[in-house]
Amino acid sequence: QVQLVQSGAEVKKPGASVKVSCKVSGYTLTELSMHWVRQAPGKGLEWMGGFDPEDGETIYAQKFQGRVTMTEDTSTDTAYMELSSLRSEDTAVYYCATGPVVPAAPIDYWGQGTLVTVSS
Amino acid sequence: EIVLTQSPGTLSLSPGERATLSCRASQSVSSSYLAWYQQKPGQAPRLLIYGASSRATGIPDRFSGSGSGTDFTLTISRLEPEDFAVYYCQQYGSSPKTFGQGTKLEIK
């Protein structure tokens, strides 16, 4: 069983960056495709990006390209999502989520979420 | 980008009734790579259905999925009190792996 434990809530000022971590247990990162999904207060789910096993690289949603970086440390089985140039609209719960490392697989495990609040 | 439109936005039903939720795609979803998730307040989403019609591990058989191409349906045959939640569809056949806007299933 995959377990994903995320870092704690963050409060950031507009223009700053935030880096959220996601520790994997039960499996190793190399056995999973890691994705990041966010949810603004009272809103729906928004896929930000994730590993595409077919291409062997991380794909970012166009909306976030240039502002988001998703990385992995396989020595500690920890994934990271860094979002820069924060604005108030980035206030949301950020989830890491995983699927099998095969092409076109659904997301089947989720972290508990990390609330990022952007406020001056 | 594939846009997913869910309907209705809110569905008001009573326990024991049948729920039918719709997800329509702006273009064909390849190989029926369509998933359904349930989300309760303060919780992460939970995978219910993948491949349009396959139940995820541990999901009760009152949940079923159907459809192909651009039209997909999630059916809950007899609503239990714990089924009242928000439901999202997601296509994962192409990037970006878009979600629908959600259907809120509320107690009538």
Residue in B30, B47, B99 closest to A47 by CB: B99
Q: Which chain B residues have a beta carbon less than 8 Å from that of A35? A: 97
Best residue in A1, A5, A33, A47 to probe B by mutation, most B CBs within 10 Å? A47
Query: With contact defined as beta carbons under 8 Å apart, do B25 and B3 qualify?
Result: yes
pLDDT tens track for A51-83: 988 888 999 999 999 999 999 999 999 999 999
Query: Which SS3 state, helix, strand or coil, does residue B10 take?
Result: strand
Comparing C-alpha atoms, which of B87, B100, B79 is closest to residue B39? Answer: B87
N-term to C-term CA, chain B: 36
The two beta strands, B19-25 and B4-7, are antiparallel
Q: Which amino acid is at A82?
A: E
Mean pLDDT by 10 residues, chain B (108 residues): 97 98 96 95 97 96 96 97 98 94 97
CB contact under 8 A, B35 and A107: yes
What is d(CA A68, CA A10) in angstroms, rounded to the nearest whole number?
16
Residues 48-77 of B with CB under 8 A from A: 50-51, 56
Contact A62/B96, CB-based, under 8 Å? yes
Per-residue pLDDT of chain A (120 residues; tens, 9 = 90+): 999 999 999 999 999 999 999 999 999 999 999 999 999 999 999 999 999 888 889 999 999 999 999 999 999 999 999 999 999 999 999 999 999 888 889 999 999 999 999 999
Neighbours of A31 (CB within 10 A): 13
Residue A31, helix vs strand vs coil: helix
Q: Which of B35, B51, B93 is nearest to A59 (CA)?
A: B93
- Measured at the CA of A97, the angle between CA A116 and CA A23, to 5 degrees, comes to 75
Q: Do B35 and A110 touch (CB under 8 A)?
A: no
